[in-house]
Structure 1
């Protein structure tokens, strides 16, 4: 077959299609004028994949691909359908283990009962996907889904309505993924999707609104209840910051005010600083041994630290138990 009879499609990665072209200059798989709604293409697509042909950029809108088997046996990498459009495609019960579909579309596709183990859907449109009972363990969607990336780009350009619309779509996608992960016992993935879902919701609020600031603080403080390490880091920062305050404002020990004094030696000042750290830890945990007490402005710092500390410890227990009981 001469090159003149080959499909003119070339993927963004520079990979040409080597299939026979129709009158349009594109092959059956890449010709946008061919309506594939009335075609049951499962077997044909399996044959195309096993022939070693490039699967980039396939146009399979509303195609019937029920129970298609695209598992590449004996290979560490699966078939690559990147840049393909599977809008509203019927993929019920499909076997897509280790499939790669990046920079494409699965919008409103039916993936009920499909095996999506280790699939890669980075930068692929997942809006409105009917997940059903699809198995998603090991499935990858990337650090950002396509709508999230579009939202950030629109926000940077000052197109607020478009940004909010894409943030809403992102929230919906992450919510669907979170619910699906929870039903399958994939709680680490569910926690990640929950954080992303609530982050997308936060970006829909006005920049300096109370709800947006509150949501951001909760995210920083405990990662929406999914990151116990955030609570630990916050606790350490609070203890250290309060210790510095005690060191410069002074505290009382054995009826003597101790704290920073430029006239004292470095060793003595360091001793007082470590005493301040000790007192900060005791105050944060609300132990209150009484060997060191606050004086002057230190009393306000101690009261504030004790209040925040009691709340933080309770929150840490809740978040930690939540993670461990999963």
Structure 2
């Protein structure tokens, strides 16, 4: 009786198994990292393997010559799944990779010049050193965080500051490369997202309680590093509402009478007072200054701070909005 041929022992973290015949290493040709895949015949072999339904997840394609390969899953809603694959220094120049999945894959120093990556998924992939020049990246999905970000935050939890800073630096480099490429391709919405992440990664490398890091955080909160003008409107409304509450508590002078919250007054009267304070807060924030209400006591300090903040915030909104719209 013929001896049953052993199957590939590859099993990825999501419990996908390969059913191909194993070689001496216990892995099949595609999942064995020790097999040489640099030859020109590997391109056609991989295309045929993909079309035959072979397990593409976790395959090892280090330094493989895959120039202009067609890995589009034609007439199917989902593309080929190369999750956990190793494509370190693989040559994918001019490759057709529409709707492909590279989640958790290693694309370190992979050549993706002129490749079609529209609608591709690269979530949790290692994108350090990827060559993006002239590649198509519309609707590219890289997830909320890069792999290096997760590793950096994990290192912070373990109190390994040096390792965390190294991962943050790698993440900054990846976001910078993606941002520059998106700008060259004219995908400015994507470029805006990447520059926010790039500057966030740079901030995370600064000393925790330093002035530079605090300033960077404030800028991020106020306007998302110049990419979120709507955030300025939200903060402005919050400042106006908070200052109105302070005016209601500390009092305003209206026609010689001090207007302030009174616990013995009705809810309607106090609410009417708050609306008046809200009106004064808007006038102060926008520096209109009609003069029908005047601050007294502590309200003067609050009004001065609000007026200064309002002038600065309005100017900031104009700059950010114009930058966003003209780009």
The TM-score normalised by the length of structure 1 is: 0.97
Shift of 1:8: 1.8
Aligned equivalent of 2:147:
146
Q: 1:168–1:48: structure 2 CA closer, same or farther, 3 Å change rule? A: same
Q: Does 1:11 align with 2:12?
A: yes
- TM-aligned CA deviation for residue 19 of structure 1: 2.0
Q: Any unmatched runs of 5+ in structure 2?
A: none
Please give the secondary structure, in 1, of the residue aligned with 2:83.
Answer: coil
Whole-angstrom CA distance in 2 between matches of 1:11 and 1:297 = 65
Cα distance, 1:230–1:3 mapped onto 2, change above 3 Å: farther
Query: Which residue of structure 2 aligns with residue 218 of structure 1?
Result: 219
Q: C-alpha deviations, 1:270-298, integer Å up to 9, x for none?
A: 21111000000000011111111111221
Question: Structure 1 residue 288 and structure 2 residue 289: aligned?
Answer: yes
Match of 1:78 in 2: 79
Report the alpha carbon displacement of residue 5 of structure 1 after superposing the two structures with TM: 3.2
Q: Deviations over 1:170-189 (max 9, x none)?
A: 00000000011111111111
RMSD across aligned positions (CA):
1.3
Distance 1:2 1:314 in 2: 79
Task: Report the secondary structure of 2:5's partner residue.
Answer: helix
Contact 2:33/2:62, CA 8 A, preserved across alignment = no
Distance in 2 between residues matched to 1:190 and 1:294, nearest whole Å: 45
Question: Number of aligned pairs?
Answer: 326
The answer to whether the Cα contact below 8 Å between 1:104 and 1:124 also exists between their aligned partners in 2 is yes
The superposition leaves residues 102-151 of structure 1 with CA deviations (integer Å, 9 ceiling, x where unpaired) of: 11100000000000000001111000001111110011111111111100
Q: Does residue 327 of structure 2 align to residue 312 of structure 1?
A: no
- Separation of aligned partners in 1, 2:268 and 2:33: 79
Indicate whether 1:202 and 2:203 are aligned: yes
SS of 1:45 mapped into structure 2: helix
Structure 1 segments of 4+ aligned residues over 4 angstroms from their partners: none
Counterpart-to-counterpart distance in 2, 1:209 and 1:247 = 36
